[in-house]
Structure 1
């Protein structure tokens, strides 16, 4: 009997092909992913630095922030989770700042370097606008599943260009703010205002980025649950 049933089952299956559309995460899932990346790479190191600075001084705070970044990278690698480009970039910048400060034995140099690094990163973002892949396009895969077809869509390409410009301008603004604070404020005031100000700017910029990206994603039909297409019907 099984030999008679199998062909009919196969015939019905062939007449009703089942195809799975690419997975498109919901907006809340994207927001959670962005928020987690910012939390791990930006917010927690800033909180650790300021807390340790208040309790133990500058050098322990510097080491604690750097230890957190590499600890987060090691933990994600050990648990086979993707290490975000944002976390790697933050760790590289912190490593450079810490190394130069230790070699020069100067905490002032440690606080001067964000001005240089923010300016350099902003310049890299601006220069990347002349390439086929602006900097935001290179980091987008950390927050949304990207492929070549999706990245080449006109709306998506314009979004990457505008977001790259946005973060470049913000980098220059942060560098200018930090330079003014470093020259005009005491160390305690500088650390407090810079920590709060930089964190606020980053969070607001992140939400602006999410808002613009969500607008484009809605127009492109990129947000929503995975659906099965059976004989032309979505279920």
Structure 2
């Protein structure tokens, strides 16, 4: 017989409930990757470009990428497949830029890639398979019951549209500056604008997701 003096057990959480990790912990998790993948390559390329010219900058850019891979291997860490693909892409871009003698060639490919990413986000919306959801679940595992919720699905559709627009603006700014400004102006002004645009979109995404969470978690279990 149950002990009547025991306090009643708390009600079970709904199957669709989900708790988002603290925003500060996510930012600290993402900051080193942002510095390594966005800020440092620009600084390395530009410093070498000023001191050593185009070929020196290309060598420095390739060395930075493969140095990162070597450092991971030295520390016994696995090398992500995406990093290996990025290294291959940087190598091909550097060779093409060295052959043509134009730094524009080096930066044109990732800009066109950004445009392709924008179109991919956009195409995922009418297909009802929002790319934003796939990326979010890669970063933060979420229960299937939560992801099947209609409000959650609508949220990821809207966020996919938002990021499609962000990448489209990113590519447009990059292409215009690449053909109308100096490489120095392109590197720093474009990087700052793109970082600010991405930060604003990320803030909207996180705040919108938190709002969605409050509504979903407040619903009673069915």
Is the pair's TM-score, using the shorter chain for normalization, greater than 0.5?
Answer: yes
Q: Indicate conservation of the 8 Å contact 1:159/1:213, yes or no.
A: yes
Q: Indicate conservation of the 8 Å contact 1:134/1:160, yes or no.
A: yes
Q: 1:187 to 1:166 in 2, by over 3 A?
A: same
Q: Could you tell me which of 86, 93, 99 is aligned with 1:101? A: 93
Q: Indicate conservation of the 8 Å contact 2:18/2:213, yes or no.
A: no
Q: Could you tell me which of 182, 187, 191 is aligned with 1:191? A: 187
The separation in 1 between residues aligned to 2:59 and 2:150, in whole angstroms, is: 48
Equivalent residues in 2 for 1:110-125 (5 A)? 110-125=106-121
Give the superposition deviation at 1:55. Answer: 2.9
Give the superposition deviation at 1:68. Answer: 7.1
The separation in 2 between residues aligned to 1:68 and 1:36, in whole angstroms, is: 23
The separation in 1 between residues aligned to 2:71 and 2:117, in whole angstroms, is: 22
Equivalent residues in 2 for 1:16-31 (5 A)? 21=13, 24-25=18-19, 29-31=22-24
1:78 alignment partner, SS class: coil
User: What is aligned with 2:211?
Assistant: 215
Q: Indicate conservation of the 8 Å contact 2:62/2:91, yes or no.
A: no
- Give 5+ residue unaligned stretches, structure 2: 50-56
Q: Could you tell me which of 149, 156, 162 is aligned with 1:160? A: 156
The separation in 2 between residues aligned to 1:203 and 1:115, in whole angstroms, is: 19
Give the TM-score of the pair, scaled to structure 2. Answer: 0.74
Q: Indicate conservation of the 8 Å contact 1:48/1:61, yes or no.
A: no
Structure 2 residue 42 is the aligned partner of structure 1 residue 32:
no
Cα-to-partner distance string for 1:96-131 (whole Å, 9 max, x where unaligned): 541331342353222111221111111111111133
The separation in 1 between residues aligned to 2:121 and 2:191, in whole angstroms, is: 23
- Give 5+ residue unaligned stretches, structure 1: 1-7, 223-235
User: What is aligned with 1:47?
Assistant: 39
The separation in 1 between residues aligned to 2:191 and 2:205, in whole angstroms, is: 21
The separation in 2 between residues aligned to 1:215 and 1:77, in whole angstroms, is: 40
The separation in 1 between residues aligned to 2:183 and 2:88, in whole angstroms, is: 21
CA RMSD of aligned residues (A): 3.6
The separation in 1 between residues aligned to 2:120 and 2:33, in whole angstroms, is: 19
Question: Number of aligned pairs?
Answer: 204
Q: Indicate conservation of the 8 Å contact 2:20/2:210, yes or no.
A: no
Cα-to-partner distance string for 1:49-104 (whole Å, 9 max, x where unaligned): 2321343232245225534764797699938xxx9xxx866x47734541331342
